Amino acid sequence: MAESYRLTASQALSLMQKGDLTVEDYAKSLLGRVNARDNTVKAWAYLDPDFVLAQAKKLDEIPAEKRGPLHGIAIGVKDVILTKDMPTCHNSPIYKGEGPSLVDAAPIITLRAAGALIFGKTTTTEFASTVEGGPSTNPHDSGRTPGGSSSGSGAAVGDYQVPISLGTQTGGSTIRPGSFNGIYALKPTWGAISREGLAQYSMTCDTLGLYARSVEDLELISKVFQLSDDEPIPSTSFPIKGSKIAFCKTHVWGKAGPGTKAAWEKAQELLRREGASVEEIDLPEDFEKIEQWHANVLAGEGRTSFLGNYLLAKDKLHHSIQNHVENSTNLSRKAQLESYDGCAILRPVWDEIAGKYDAIFTPSVVDEAPVGIESTGDASFCSMWTILQVPCLNIPGFAGENGLPVGLTLVGARYHDLHVLHAGKAIGEVFGKEGGFKHKLY
């Protein structure tokens, strides 16, 4: 199937299971798409088509009964995640030209064991820690950023070059590219997926993120990673009708641009029309402090995380990374610890609030992707949820003033990842049909 690149992972898997598609043909189709679009989108930091095809052929040789749940599914991997057969360069001049890492990050071990085809490495900002973009562009408008720091992973899935990719999030690095590229993005509960073998910026915030063009695909991957809530997930669809849905602007709302504001109104209208009870909620006052606490934790932990590379080659590090190591904000240990402890107190408070609703929405981004690829954008609407360590799902469907995609985030209580996906699947169908953005093939 020449155009199998258009399929979601679940669709491709189904064809492969029926014997209607080989991994090799699937890989050829994806590589064809990459070939057609890479000059524009530039999502890949490393991609070796011959190696991809060789791996695909090996997967085709595995007898049906020994195939894993992700057999042959192509996955793009952010270039801050170790892969034993590909280099990991962190978009850093220090690691430019490295050979294969010879070590797989824990999530890669899991994905390979499930039969995935590790396709290539996707672009990132330097050590997934800056907002300095390039060379990747937004597949919907090459004059705009795909967001970051998981730039290539967001763009590659948004552009149908792979069905699934891995990102990371420390501020808003998974959710923002999700919104900018018009795709689903899941930042799971902190700790729900191993982060062994990922570049470290903030131990408290760093989380592996997942991209796909359907919730079904995210559910597929979540099953492989054995995400699990305490409460079983019904096998029936999430009933929007009669559900209690909250919208939480947060104290950052003042930054919301017209695209996000319009999506906000439209989403409420659609959900009400579907029979949901919708209300806007305010968080307790202390939650306003989280923005500063998040900045403090990143400063305190970045100071430690980047020390080695600083000592190795200070001049090759982005000034923001140098600043972290030099503690340029003069952050005290006391302020760092108060930030930890303050967030820790609010985590169960949030969980309790979340428990009162069937779904809670919050903005994903300030607005549609801004013009230019120099900056990957603003994480303001995400950082609170990252340090609260709660599951966040970007649901695409809306369009900004320039027709670029805008998403909203469905946010849940800690370790309610599957619930968030379940609710997001039903709601995402509504947003996708009537939100105003249509995912096109360029």
Q: In this structure, which amino acid lies at residue 36?
A: A
Helix (H, G, I), strand (E, B) or coil at 132: strand
By CB under 8 A, name the one of 99, 236, 285, 315 that touches its own copies. 99
Kindly state whether residue 203 participates in binding its own copies, applying the rule CB under 8 A. Answer: yes
Residues 152, 136: Cα–Cα separation, whole Å = 6
φ/ψ of 390, rounded to 5, equals: -100, 160
Q: What is the largest CA-CA distance in the chain?
A: 61
Closest separation between CB of residue 330 and its own copies, Å? 11
Q: 146 or 300, CB closer to its own copies?
A: 300
Residues labelled as active-site residues:
78, 149, 173
CA angle 120, 126, 130 (to 5 degrees): 130
Interacting residue with its own copies among 103, 281, 371, 441 (CB under 8 A): 103
Q: Applying CB under 8 A, which of residues 141, 340, 402, 434 lies at the interface with its own copies?
A: 340
Binds its own copies by CB under 8 A, chosen from 160, 180, 381, 415: 415
Q: Are 174 and 380 in contact (CB under 8 A)?
A: no
Which of 82, 164, 271, 365 touches its own copies (CB under 8 A)? 82
* Half-sphere exposure for 5 (CA within 13 Å, toward CB): 22
Q: Which residues, 283 to 302, sit near its own copies by CB under 8 A?
A: 300-301
User: Which residue matches tokens 């894993």?
Assistant: 68
**How many CB atoms neighbour CB 235 within 10 A?**
6
Selected from 43, 73, 81, 114, the binder of its own copies by CB under 8 A is 114
Q: Which residues contact 270 (CB under 8 A, 6 or more apart)?
A: 430, 431, 434, 435
Q: Does the protein bind its own copies through residue 328 (CB under 8 A)? A: no
> Rule CB under 8 A: is residue 337 a binding residue for its own copies?
yes
Residues from 307 through 326 that contact its own copies (CB under 8 A): 307-309, 311-312, 325
Name the DSSP letter for residue 217. H
Is 199:80 a contact under the CB 8 Å cutoff? yes
Q: CA–CA separation, 41 vs 64, rounded Å? A: 35
- Sequence-separated (6 or more) residues with CB below 8 Å from residue 186: 174, 209, 210, 218, 222, 391, 392, 393, 394, 417, 420, 421
Per rule CB under 8 A, is residue 441 in the interface with its own copies? no
**Cα 288 from Cα 103, distance rounded (Å):** 41
Q: Does 333 bind its own copies (CB under 8 A)?
A: yes
Quick one: tokens of 253? 């709302």
Please, which of residues 171-190 interact with its own copies by CB under 8 A? 190
> Per CB under 8 A, does 229 bind its own copies?
yes
Residue 96 within binding range of its own copies, rule CB under 8 A: no
CB nearer to its own copies: pick between 39 and 226: 226
- Is position 371 an interface residue for its own copies (rule: CB under 8 A)? no
Q: Report the SS3 class of residue 84.
A: coil
Should residue 110 be labelled a site residue for its own copies when binding is judged by CB under 8 A?
yes
Q: Which of 3, 332, 372, 433 binds its own copies (CB under 8 A)?
A: 332
Residue type, 33: R
If the CB atoms of residues 62 and 109 are measured against its own copies, the closer one turns out to be: 109
* Interaction of residue 66 with its own copies, rule CB under 8 A: no
Nearer to its own copies, 275 or 308 (CB): 308
Closer to its own copies at the Cβ: 107 or 172? 107
Q: Specify the DSSP class assigned to residue 309.
A: H
- Binding-site ranges for its own copies (CB under 8 A): 82, 88, 98-104, 106-110, 112-114, 190-196, 199-200, 203-204, 225-226, 228-230, 300-301, 303-305, 307-309, 311-312, 325, 332-334, 336-337, 340-341, 344-345, 347-348, 351, 414-415
